[in-house]
Chain A
Amino acid sequence: MAMIVSLNWLKTWVPVEARADKIAQKLTMAGLEVDAVRTPPALSQVVVGEVLETAPHPQADRLKVCQVVVDPLQPPLEIVCGCPTVAPGMKVPVALHGAQLPGGHKIKRSKLRGVTSHGMLCSEVELGLASESDGLMALPADAPIGEDFVAYAGLDDSLIEVDLTPNRGDCLSIQGVAREVAANFELAMTPVEIAEVALDNDVPQKSVELVDTAACPRYLATVVMGVDMHKPTPFWMQQRLRSAGLRLVNVVVDIANYVMIELGQPLHAFDYDTLDGALVVRAAHPGEKLMLLDGVEVALDPTTLVIADQQGPQAIAGVMGGLDSGVTEKTQHVLIESAHFAPVGIARTCRQSGLHSDAAHRFERGVDRELPRVAMQRMLGLLQSICGGNVGETTECSVPARELLSTPIRIDAAEIKRILGVEMAPNVIDEIFNRLALPFDYDGQAWSVMPPSYRFDLKIPADLIEEIARVYGYDKIPTQHLPLMPAAQVDNDRLFASDQLRDCLAQHGLHEAVTYSFIAESYHQACSPEIEACRLANPLSANMAVMRASILPGLLEVAERNLRRQHPDVRLFEIGLCFEQHQGQGTVNIKQRQHVAGLLCGARQPEQWGQTAEMIDFYDAKGICEQVLTATQHAGEFSFVAGQHAALHPGKTAQIMRADQQVGVVGMIHPQLADQLQLPQGIAMFELYDIDQWNKSRSTAHAVSKFPCMRRDLSLLVNAKYSFGEIAGTIRQIGGELLQNVVLFDIYQGQHIAADHKSLGVGLSFQHQERTLVEQEVTALVTNIVDGLQQAFNITVRDK
């Protein structure tokens, strides 16, 4: 919530001459970030007018022809008006011929159904003062006829919108911002004069009991009898309230709000006659309820501080009043509350109840604990001068004064230099403390600073260092190079490994995706139903409610979006943490492990001439897994075993195993899942789990054989039930050390061979490390291999 500061109002507190943008820049550089400066609206030729008489329009039922005085010395103007609220005697803003209204509207003399209208009577909407209104803007009866409306309404003003950080609750008022302006422009403040109010001893005094003095260390209550609720809120006050972004309520509430904006102290007004007996500031009792001012009934939590009378709670302390005890048009006597509530309790109440108000916003951030008395005087003075009434003696309940005293903060020049890196002369620091109006003693060694009660954010030396730095100017603090780091403790293997993995996958034609770590429950069930998910208590939506246990859901969603956007060839990967939860003894154990997953579909290569399109299949995904696994330090230890996965085709899925531990999965999408997600069937996916356990391997170099390599190709006819993995295993086992490589160059199933058989084309490469191989020994080895295959798999060698 920003604090909107009227420049005209500010100038009554501090004689600043600078333009609004210059003030804004200074405030920003002093740590009060200005979000926007709003300059006066583009309004001209609008004056205060009085409607003398109205008559029906001869040609139109809904229109009225009004005689309006806009200059006491001139005859009235004839103006056609469509607003039903227009009435004789009313004072309204009148846009004359040639007037300029916000949004570029120009008003011209014109004929409306045969009657010439010499201008326009305006509502707040037309003047750009409000976004809606229920009729013409009625001006006070004493508004001077013919006066320029902009000047009259105080619209020749700039509004400075300050976005305050939570530590600067003291600046949530004109007074607070004025202090900052005074400090930064080196000006003296000119605070508003607050007169003592004459007391009437016949007015009763309300007795108040503070039960929880930690939550409410100070409470002031004053009764005012005979308040005239029918007095309008003065126009100047209305304008200032509007400028601050506040809505008008009734005269008493408006005055209370005015004092809050002016001084920073939230006040509350009760209808005195609705209160029964003494007030008690206490925690709510279990089961208590309160109908709030906004018409909503809330059940009160026992941690909530309330203002109660003998009947029960009448207000949530510092947050919002109750409807029944609120001030209305019928109110005759009021009780004004000016109190100090501790931030923590207010913050807890707001968080728990979801309630929010201007008062709570200030109490949460802290309000000057010495302010209630001053604010009460200001309130009573304004109230009496505007609405009359007899003011009674104020009841004040406070904890002993010493408990409210702050302790001095000691700081020396060496500490300032240690943190800021700049040497400051004592007189420079004196000067800064003076500008901030911080009382201090300097004993030649150190400063002992007593922060004023409104600077409750200053508690420790570091806080003073910040004050010194920001008034000195952050920009004036010199830069100084870092010393070289003594031996850096670098062990970035794991992170570099995941970046190397990223490069590896990108080189294989995959694009890296980054998807949200939270997914929909349905996706979790589709991909990892066996895992107990970590669920969010306050998700943004049901689609983002479950922490992912797998990256595949995110990739499926991205694939779906890309296919919908006519990108048929999707090749994606993602690396990131996945989450699962295990019930331990009394606590939950959360596992957060880095996974990598990929998804491929569409053509194997981009569409191009000279190549027929081949579609991605299982083996593309498997090949990528193999490339990734080869880069780990466990390269030789992985195997692919037919297996199952909820999201994958039961016949086209391999579990990736290392010893007897599953470390990943690869397969084609389950046809049912594809249908359910309206995705094509040809989607290959893989996921490797907990990749941080595999650091990148450092390859070891071996001597390369200088002797020729001999190759023999075999065409093997075998029953299709035997997997290539088994057959290759047997070949390698028999081939021994001399068999350097086994390559599968062809697989055939079809009309030339038996229906349940397949033909495998296998190339065997033999090489000796230290000599040239002899023809006969290779032939003998191949014969052994063929014999072994015949025994194990009933393989026949086909003629080539």
Chain B
Amino acid sequence: MTVPVDALREQIAHALTHAQTLEQLEAVRVEFLGKKGKLTASLKALSSLTGQERAEAGKTLNQIKQQLQQALQQRVSGLKDQAAQQALANGVIDVTLPGRQPASGGLHPVTQVRQRLSDIFVSMGFEIVEGPEIEDDEHNFGALNLPPHHPARAMQDTFYLESQDEHGNPLLLRTHTSSVQVRTMRSREVPLRIITPGRVYRCDSDRTHTPMFHQIEGLLIDKDCTFAQLKAMLRDFLEAFFGQYLEFRFRPSFFPYTEPSAEVDIRCVNCGGKGCKVCSHTGWLEVLGCGMVHPNVLTAGGIDPKEYSGFAFGLGIDRFAMLYYGIEDLRWLFENDLAFLSQVSS
């Protein structure tokens, strides 16, 4: 028999041309290369040939087989690529849709600023101490060189409780965290290097005062502690907090618990000193009160003022929060409007 090589070639070419899918290509493969396929059958039929004829036919058929296999492989991988491309094309999403959001929370600006302030002081070796908010007269006033009827008591309008302490004086809400300094001086050994953050209360409410606010006060007591050190420490602190070099000034002032006393002004961080609403058009922001601890306060704290000296300082956390976040109205801090809290919670 002669092998119908040309017919086979023609059939294969026809079949390949018409096969458009992976299934059809598989069908082509089965039709020609399957166990009962046409090419397989022709190859089997070679055994009936002999000699030269067999060799030539075998060579030709194997050539066809190879070509077919190659063609099939090419077509299959081409179609697979196409399919993959198609799948990718089908898989396009709208990347501008909003991302999935969990409920978000955050810390109150007063907390964030308190932490920022505390971190700076802790890095300077200060230890954080807290204390009670309901206090007695002795810890809030008496031990701080503020005897009864001292005119400076009028500087701090005090909330009193209906209840009294064991001396018959009304209990009160601490007007400053200096009361914690008194407690610490009395309970601990010198040297001391503490800060006392916390809530304080004064009977005062208007645009720039809330009846409750937050303070950090600091106290350092050691041998040879000086006003010069106080200046350096506060300058370093203020520059660390505001993250910039600042022009600042120390101004003589008066606090009953310090002598000498000072107030610290910085060049307005909002306008650079040109004058704006934030600094009441003075170019300066009053940010801190401080001074050398009054000998009477050291004595009341059980510390010998001849051997030790100390400095103390105090600042309003809320005021620093206002400066830090550009908060225009103090009362926003205590309204707890979620829209406001979200702005400053990151």
Q: Which residues of A contact B (CB under 8 A)?
A: 28-31, 33, 165-168, 343-344, 347-348, 351, 364-365, 418-422, 460, 462-463, 465-466, 469-470, 474-475, 477-486, 488-492, 494-495, 499, 502-503, 505-518, 534-540, 544, 547, 558, 561-562, 565, 567, 569-573, 576-577, 579, 581, 586-588, 590, 592, 604-606, 608-611
A587: B residues at CB distance < 8 A = 164-166
B115 engages A572 (CB within 8 Å): no
Q: Which residues of B contact A (CB under 8 A)?
A: 97-98, 100-108, 110-111, 115, 122, 124-125, 127-128, 130, 132-134, 148-152, 154-155, 159-166, 170-171, 173, 188, 191, 193, 199, 201, 203, 205, 211-212, 220, 222, 224, 226-229, 231-233, 235, 249-254, 259-263, 292, 294-295, 309, 333-339, 341-342, 345
State the CA gap A604–B102 with chains docked (Å).
9
B132 engages A561 (CB within 8 Å): no
B193 engages A485 (CB within 8 Å): yes
B231 engages A495 (CB within 8 Å): no
Task: Sample 5 A-B pairs with CB under 8 A, ordered by A number.
Answer: A469-B227, A488-B127, A513-B341, A534-B171, A567-B337
A469 engages B252 (CB within 8 Å): yes
State whether A488 and B193 are in contact (beta carbons under 8 Å apart), knowing that A474-B250, A511-B345, A604-B103 are contacts in the complex. Answer: yes
* A440: min CB distance to chain B, Å: 19
* A690: min CB distance to chain B, Å: 14
State whether A511 and B342 are in contact (beta carbons under 8 Å apart), knowing that A579-B134, A606-B103 are contacts in the complex. Answer: yes
B199: A residues at CB distance < 8 A = 517, 576-577
* B154: min CB distance to chain A, Å: 7
State the CA gap A611–B132 with chains docked (Å).
47
A490: B residues at CB distance < 8 A = 127
A31: B residues at CB distance < 8 A = 251-254
Choose one: B103, B149, B164, B226; the contact of A571 (CB below 8 Å).
Answer: B103
State whether A466 and B261 are in contact (beta carbons under 8 Å apart), knowing that A482-B124, A514-B334, A547-B134 are contacts in the complex. Answer: yes
* B48: min CB distance to chain A, Å: 61
B173: A residues at CB distance < 8 A = 517, 536, 547
**B interface SS class:** mixed
Choose one: B104, B124, B132, B133; the contact of A509 (CB below 8 Å).
Answer: B104
B259 engages A466 (CB within 8 Å): yes
The 7 closest A-B pairs by CB, nearest first: A421-B226, A421-B228, A31-B252, A509-B103, A165-B254, A485-B125, A466-B260
B134 engages A480 (CB within 8 Å): no
State the CA gap A465–B335 with chains docked (Å).
45
State whether A343 and B110 are in contact (beta carbons under 8 Å apart), knowing that A485-B125, A516-B334, A540-B211 are contacts in the complex. Answer: no
Choose one: B155, B212, B233; the contact of A516 (CB below 8 Å).
Answer: B212
* B251: min CB distance to chain A, Å: 6
State whether A479 and B105 are in contact (beta carbons under 8 Å apart), knowing that A29-B251, A572-B336, A581-B163 are contacts in the complex. Answer: no
A592: B residues at CB distance < 8 A = 132-134
State the CA gap A475–B284 with chains docked (Å).
15
B149 engages A348 (CB within 8 Å): yes
State whether A462 and B292 are in contact (beta carbons under 8 Å apart), knowing that A567-B338, A606-B103, A608-B100 are contacts in the complex. Answer: yes
Choose one: A474, A511, A577; the contact of B262 (CB below 8 Å).
Answer: A474
B151 engages A365 (CB within 8 Å): yes
State the CA gap A572–B337 with chains docked (Å).
11
State the CA gap A99–B263 with chains docked (Å).
44
A489: B residues at CB distance < 8 A = 127, 188
A166: B residues at CB distance < 8 A = 150-152, 154-155, 254
A462 engages B295 (CB within 8 Å): yes
Q: Which of B111, B130, B151, B292 has the most CB of A within 10 A?
A: B151
